[in-house]
Amino acid sequence: MGISYNEESRSFKLTAKDTVYMLAVINGEYLGHVYYGKKVPDEQLNYLMRLEESPFTPERNNRDRAVYLDTTPFEYPCFGIGDYRESALKVMDSEGMSACDLRYVSHRIYEGKPALEGLPATFATEKSPAETLEITMEDAHERLTAVLVYTVFEELDVITRSVRFVNGNDKPIKLTRALSACVEFDTDKMDMITLNGSWARERHMERCRLHVGKQLIDSCRGESSHQNNPFVALCEHNADEDRGEVYGFNFVYSGNFVAEAEVTQHAKTRFLMGINPLDFEWLLEPGESFTAPEVVMVYSDSGLGKMSRTFHDLYRENLIRGEYKDRRRPILINNWEATYFGFTSEKLLDIAKEASKLGIEMLVMDDGWFGHRDSDNSSLGDWFVYEKKLEGGLSALVEKVNALGMKFGIWFEPEMVSPDSELYKAHPDWAIQIKGRDLTLCREQYVLDYSRKEVRDYVYDMMRKILDNANIEYIKWDMNRQLTEVGSNALPKERQRELWHRYVLGVYDLMGRLTSDYPHILLENCSGGGARFDAGMLYFSPQIWCSDDTDAIERLKIQHGTSMCYPCSAMGAHVSDCPNHTVGRNTPFKTRGHVAMVGTFGYELDVTHIPQEDRDAIPGQIEEFKKYNPLVRTGDHYRIGNMFEDNTFDAWMFVAKDKSEAMFEFVQVMGRPNQRSRRIRLKGLDPDAYYYEESRPEETFSGAALMNAGINVAWIWNGDGIYGDFSSKILHFVRK
């Protein structure tokens, strides 16, 4: 049983693989948090809430109810009744009052996992079943109901959370803060790990000690953002990749979010995650409901590595969908860094002809094929073919590419509109805007109001005409700017602050239609690189462009941080030209390939103009990728090096689930003279099995020796007696 209820103690026990989460009804009314951590056999641990200590429960000491409310570990705390810590729920009633007091009403337990209306969420499968607990809470004064939804994935250390609100009153009520999860920790001795950065520097890992007060990451940009990712890990001070307790939290959402840890006056920690309450309101008319997005919680008793592998397994099996869920993705070449806007059908065909000879499987035509777009100052929203550039039309080009044995992909930016476009001239009111204020330009474009169905329908009709006119098998969906002057010409004034969330729901609606109507198309999400690398997007697209920075050395940190939560098989990663277009660095072609193999793998260059030596290396590089990609897609990922702590090298492994083989990758970032080899301990192998490295099958070593004693990795030479900066190697270990 994944979920049980103890009638005597009125406590709930949620049991995942090695995890227990417990909560209980206090005094028949409040819902308290009891325990979250390593599995225990006990059916109730209510003593952990300290209800027998002063200030006692209200029924025993009502004169200090406010003190009780400000100290008790609540499961879903409300604002305005005496709990002065951060709240999960804040409302405003028809009289302008903001107090709320949710009390337990009932519960039910059932097999499976419900979908969330209009929202992406994890789902149960036969391989990975689930059980769900719903607890109904109510504020009797406002007749507001909150249904707390918990799902346990019994084969994984995963528990998910979401909340559904229903207005049972005959008057409207506004939600002004409606977070998805709250967890109480009985300690302040924790570190907070977050993934932060900027454009071309996404998801750099940052770790800091919690201190008294509130520390948070958030986004108020209309997307999950380059700057902060909706992932947080709380862990013991001494936790590392392989040891220590870790609690991971990830928000399955692609818009504004907040993730906050508050260390209180009593040296406890309250953690909350959900939609950012900044500039958020949601009006609930009588009988209306609102569903908060899902939070995924992962517990690990064996460090960050186990936490990451749990997230990876869950998302590969229980979030990513579609025909490419369990398939190798086509090896593509994208023309963006090769040509930018300066291409023609002839130029694209030249690239395709050379690429097809080398074993590349798909040509992707990036930005610039539509309207009259020769730079980024026009035509977004005009999704019809720019025939001056694509002579003969799109279908003729696609047919010629297909005749070479290659698939064809195309770039869209469906959420945007250029002031210089037929769409904007016909419907300027379709842009997100505040009447009377100047619209702020970014990349010389505005954002379409995706809260409006007629806008989504118009854009989708144009996309369908393109997709139905040619054999397109891949879409890169881009989103290159954030939201400003957030207002809608279609919403009444009392619902204007809903636009942030309604916009995201509109994006999900259109992506849902696209993936349903064209299930054979591989969808890759992109947002100025990696600004929407989140679990919400993974529900619609099995891969996301990891970053516009394609430099192999910069990618080491970006991909390391991304792998803390998201599977490597979802990381859009390409081999690009040198000097790199973002940082100007030169790196060996071999290293560029090895780093891109961690992800989906492809090419971002003009294959007709690269050095002959690099061109000649591509067929072998592709075969190497095909050989190891099954391990990347299905195996367990182990981080060994850490560029955030030691920038001289990086290393990682992918190990088959049955421990039969492993791929070890090593990148020598900085060569060091007069140094002996580096001793590295491998991870994830069977300690009782024997392995050989493929290039030296005559030598065998026990898994225990490889993991406990390690291997010697010699410094890589580039010739002429020079230690090679940015060099790399792959070792393939096979069980005898």
Active site residues: 478, 548
φ and ψ of 154, to 5 deg: -70, -25
Antiparallel, parallel or unpaired: β 696-702 and 690-693: antiparallel
Angle at alpha carbon of residue 282, lines to 318 and 315, rounded to 5°? 10
Angle at alpha carbon of residue 628, lines to 623 and 630, rounded to 5°? 115
What distance in Å separates the CA atoms of residue 444 and residue 15, rounded to the nearest whole number?
52
Structure tokens at 66: 């406010």
Q: Considering just the CA atoms, what is the radius of gyration of the chain in Å?
A: 27
What distance in Å separates the CA atoms of residue 589 and residue 118, rounded to the nearest whole number?
44
Residue 195: its H or E element: strand 191-196
What distance in Å separates the CA atoms of residue 671 and residue 663, rounded to the nearest whole number?
23
Residues in the chain: 736
SS3 467: helix
Whether the upstream peptide bond of residue 579 has omega within 30° of 0, thus cis, is yes
Residue 151: its H or E element: strand 144-153
53, 86, 164, 232, 506 from 188: Cα distances, Å: 20, 16, 30, 16, 40
Q: What is the largest CA-CA distance in the chain?
A: 83
- Tokens 């207002």 sit on residue: 487
Angle at alpha carbon of residue 570, lines to 328 and 403, rounded to 5°? 40
Helix-then-strand count for the chain, H and E = 13, 40
User: CA quadruple 238, 240, 242, 246: dihedral positive or negative?
Assistant: positive
What distance in Å separates the CA atoms of residue 697 and residue 691, rounded to the nearest whole number?
9
Structure tokens at 363: 């040509």
Structure tokens at 171: 């008057």
- Tokens 């198309």 sit on residue: 521
φ and ψ of 40, to 5 deg: -130, 150
What distance in Å separates the CA atoms of residue 41 and residue 18, rounded to the nearest whole number?
11
SS3 499: helix
Antiparallel, parallel or unpaired: β 690-693 and 678-680: unpaired
Can you spell out the DSSP letters for 413-424? -TTEE-SSSHHH
Select from 370, 358, 473 the least CA-distant residue to 422: 370
Cβ(556)–Cβ(669) under 8 Å? Answer: yes
- Tokens 């006119």 sit on residue: 469
Cβ(538)–Cβ(315) under 8 Å? Answer: yes
